[in-house]
Amino acid sequence: MIPVIMAGGSGTRLWPLSRTQYPKQFLPLHSDLSMLQETVSRLGSVDQVSLICNEEHRFLAAEQMRVLDQSCSIFLEPVGRNTAPAIALAALKAVSQGQGDECLLVLAADHVIENEVAFRDAIAKAEPLAKEGSLVTFGIVPTQPETGYGYIKADVSNPMSEVRKGEGHITEAYSVAEFVEKPDQATAESYLAEGGYYWNSGMFMFCADRYLEELGKFRPDILAACEKAMQATVADMDFVRVDAAAFEACPDESVDYAVMEKTDRAVVLPLDAGWSDVGSWAALWEIKDKDSHGNVLDGDVIAHNTHDSFVMSSNRLVTTLGVDNLIIVDTPDALLVADKRKIQDVKAIVAEIKNASRNETFQHREVYRPWGKYDSIDLGDRYQVKRITVKPGARLSVQKHHHRAEHWIVVSGTANVTKGNETFLVTENQSTYIPLGEIHCLENPGMVELELIEIQSGSYLGEDDIVRLEDQYGRA
């Protein structure tokens, strides 16, 4: 079996914590692991994972897999083209390696599953169905009349197999009667009353060659574009780069619309494993442990006479007094206060911030790079102060700036600095000055993290005033 994990998406409904440059799948929302790491970990021991993510998230994804010591192929999408083309890339690679008859287990990187035993049991039951040529989708047993999910209607008159679960219960896999769009409240209630309806989880299992066969039958244009994109792949460290022009020409389509709603071999396997797609702050509040007042308190929080609320603080004390049903999320550069019942409308806030060309939807004040991270701790008209952390053995690009000079002060560790034709060490409490236009480079030669304060001064301080002359991470 080959796990294929979809790690694209921006997760705007969990703003201000989730942002374009650091979306929810890379955040530790449910445990100490990120949601992507949880997704991989719940699979147990697997030899290889195919991970599909956006170009701008490649170093985040690679670092999180490195922490897990998980071998993986990371496909980089030059542009987002939805799930049908993304899965096709992984399937085409499997076929090219003689693994066309292997099952692809397609998972989202940002789901929570509480009962991992039930989840792995469902995977084991789905595999023989996929080996027989079926395209299996995992349907979540609904717990309430939810209007935020699409539904799958099972053909209960056509059971495919019996699957024995814990506590003596028996459920079955069924042929799919139809996929249903997100319903209104009354319709959702009728689905639960009638039975045989499941939430569409977006998780699938099918053999690689069977998926390509069905994709070619119903959307040959998508298959042709993906085949062309895979003809000119380039290996780049942990990454697989496809032909950008060919992939950009591929139609944007979900696997549901492209294949699953059209094939006559779709099978739904009910899954009751404490699943959540964590699609909002209210959904995260639902699955988190709560105090005696129904509150989820994360970080430095004091809540008095507060009930049924979610309060998160990233770096400072947050206090509440006499409030109920609130979502409060405090980050270094943005604060969200919302009625829990209205939290789905956070997308409107995100859209307004984008329309104002503000940066708070794009990245955090603390920004991660392949060599480490930096935190913009102060910003004025002609100056900016950053706290920079460089990982052991890491090296920033050889670069220069047209509009700013930089002053580096080492707080801890040792910096190997290249400035023009000079190369020298700068240790704790020492500093160096990089004049405007000077070619320079910073490296951590030590075994511990290098921390320094960078003071920029000049007429323009944007990140696009970096002319990279040499970069070991392949950045332009």
Task: Say yes or no to pLDDT of 164 above 50.
Answer: no
Residue 116 is which amino acid?
Answer: E
Q: How far apart are CA 242 and CA 219, in angstroms?
A: 20
Residue 75 is which amino acid?
Answer: F
At 188 the pLDDT is 93
Q: Is the peptide bond before 16 cis (omega within 30 degrees of 0)?
A: yes
Q: Which of 66, 73, 101 has the alpha carbon at shortest distance from 5?
A: 73
Q: How far apart are CA 85 and CA 153, in angstroms?
A: 25
pLDDT digit string (tens) for 231-265?
Answer: 988 877 678 889 999 999 999 999 999 999 999 99
Q: At what angle do helices 83-96 and 208-218 cross, to 10 degrees?
A: 130
pLDDT higher for 161 or 158? 158
Which of left, alpha, beta for 168 (phi over 0: left; psi -120 to 50: alpha)? left
Neighbours of 461 (CB within 10 A): 19
At 148 the pLDDT is 87
Q: How far apart are CA 68 and CA 37, in angstroms?
A: 7
Judge whether 107 and 5 are in contact, CB under 8 Å.
yes
At 117 the pLDDT is 93
Mean pLDDT on 297-319: 97
Confidence of residue 306 (pLDDT cuts 50, 70, 90): very high
CA distances from 260 to 157, 254, 466 (A): 19, 9, 46
- Cβ neighbors of 271 (< 8 A, separation 6 or more) are 118, 119, 122, 138, 139, 140, 141, 201, 203
pLDDT higher for 127 or 165? 127
Q: Which neighbouring-strand residues pair with 424? A: 417
Q: What is the mean pLDDT of the chain?
A: 92
Q: Which two tokens stand for residue 329?
A: 């999320």
Task: Say yes or no to pLDDT of 168 above 60.
Answer: no
DSSP string over 284-315: HHHHS---TTS-EEESSEEEES-BS-EEEESS
Q: How far apart are CA 155 and CA 147, in angstroms?
A: 22
- Cβ neighbors of 326 (< 8 A, separation 6 or more) are 306, 309, 310, 311, 320, 337, 338, 339, 340
Judge whether 294 and 306 are in contact, CB under 8 Å.
no
Task: Say yes or no to pLDDT of 165 above 50.
Answer: no
pLDDT higher for 168 or 155? 155
Mean pLDDT on 152-158: 86
For residue 168, give the DSSP letter.
Answer: G
Domains, in order of start, for the chain: 2-276 (3.90.550.10), 281-353 (no CATH), 366-470 (2.60.120.10)
At 171 the pLDDT is 53
At 167 the pLDDT is 42
Confidence of residue 47 (pLDDT cuts 50, 70, 90): confident
pLDDT digit string (tens) for 112-125?
Answer: 999 999 999 999 99
Convert 89-114 into a string of H (helix), E (strand) and C (coil).
Answer: HHHHHHHHCCCCCCEEEEEECCCEEC
Beta pairing class for 112-113 and 275-276: antiparallel
Q: Where are the alpha helices (DSSP H) in 315-418?
A: 346-355
Confidence of residue 163 (pLDDT cuts 50, 70, 90): very low
Judged by average pLDDT, the poorest of 202-211, 215-224, 355-364, 422-431 is 355-364
Mean pLDDT on 153-160: 81
pLDDT digit string (tens) for 398-454?
Answer: 999 999 999 999 999 999 999 999 999 999 999 999 999 999 999 999 999 999 999
Judge whether 16 and 334 are in contact, CB under 8 Å.
yes
Q: Which neighbouring-strand residues pair with 172? A: 162
What Rg value do the Cα atoms of the chain yield, rounded?
25
Confidence of residue 161 (pLDDT cuts 50, 70, 90): low
At 169 the pLDDT is 40
3-state secondary structure of 238: coil
